[in-house]
Amino acid sequence: MTTIDQIESVLELPHPQQKVWQAITTPEGLNQWFGNRVTMTLEEGSPILFEWDEYGQAGGVIQTVEPMNKFAYRWRANGVPETAAMNETNSTLVTFELTPTPAGTRLRVLETGFASLDPNLRKRAFRENTSGWASELEELVAFLAGQPV
């Protein structure tokens, strides 16, 4: 049986790279489109906590900060207690890559590591995160365009 290991989305955004970077790397930006509350400091090794009123919390650790180009964090799969130490069997890696284009910014969002998850978490995490990213990225597009989210 083949296990799908990643979720990938590529958005061509008609916005400057700086605007997109602010939307994906600051609590002020993330709070507008990604969940209800985000707590973080933009530093590698710092904790990051996402909260959704209807879904609960997802905590993680910031892995990569390359200003204006790349932002990545590792976060726990749904159902893994916040007190559990993160490892490859209970967390995935989310990476945002920004590339300037003549029309604005290309944003690539990649979540990897599903194949390494504990089999009891894998299918649910992939299914929920696939639909979650589709919804959240629609909200990012709306937010960047100045529309209600």
Could you tell me the pTM of the whole model?
A: 0.95
Which of the residue ranges 9-13, 31-35, 84-88 would you say has the lowest mean pLDDT? 84-88
Per-residue pLDDT, 33: 97
Which contacts of 117-124 are long-range, i.e. CB under 8 A and separated by 24 or more positions? 117/77, 117/88, 117/89, 117/90, 117/91, 117/92, 118/89, 118/90, 121/77, 121/78, 121/79, 121/80, 121/89, 121/90, 122/3, 124/78, 124/79
The pLDDT tens digits of the residues spanning 3-29 come to 689 999 999 999 999 999 999 999 999
CATH 3.30.530.20 fits 6-144, yes or no: yes
